[in-house]
């Protein structure tokens, strides 16, 4: 999906897509969006699920982590 066609989202890493009424996950280091196994932009109903996916997708040390 070209950058100019990405949905307008709010947040960092885990983003709310108001148009789809779902959370989306983005690797803020590389700019890559998380996609499902079918190749579509991954969507999550619950923030906790999206946050877990983001932590696995954007792997780096965060403040307070060893």
Using one digit for the tens of pLDDT, what is the confidence trace for 2-33?
A: 555 554 555 578 999 999 999 999 988 888 99
**Distinct helix (H) and strand (E) counts, the chain:** 1, 2
In a domain, 9, yes or no: yes
Rounded CA separation 64/39 (Å): 34
In a domain, 10, yes or no: yes
In a domain, 25, yes or no: yes
3-state SS assignment for residue 51: helix
**Per-residue pLDDT reduced to its tens digit, 38-58:** 999 999 999 999 999 998 888
CA distances for 8 relative to 3, 59, 60, 64, 65, angstroms: 11, 24, 25, 30, 30
Q: How many domains does the chain have?
A: 1
């Amino acid at each position: 999906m070209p950058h100019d066609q990405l949905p307008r989202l709010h947040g960092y890493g885990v983003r709310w897509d108001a148009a789809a009424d779902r959370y989306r996950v983005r690797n803020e280091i590389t700019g890559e969006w998380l996609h499902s196994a079918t190749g579509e932009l991954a969507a999550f109903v619950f923030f906790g699920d999206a946050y877990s996916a983001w932590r696995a997708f954007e792997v780096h040390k965060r403040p307070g982590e060893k």
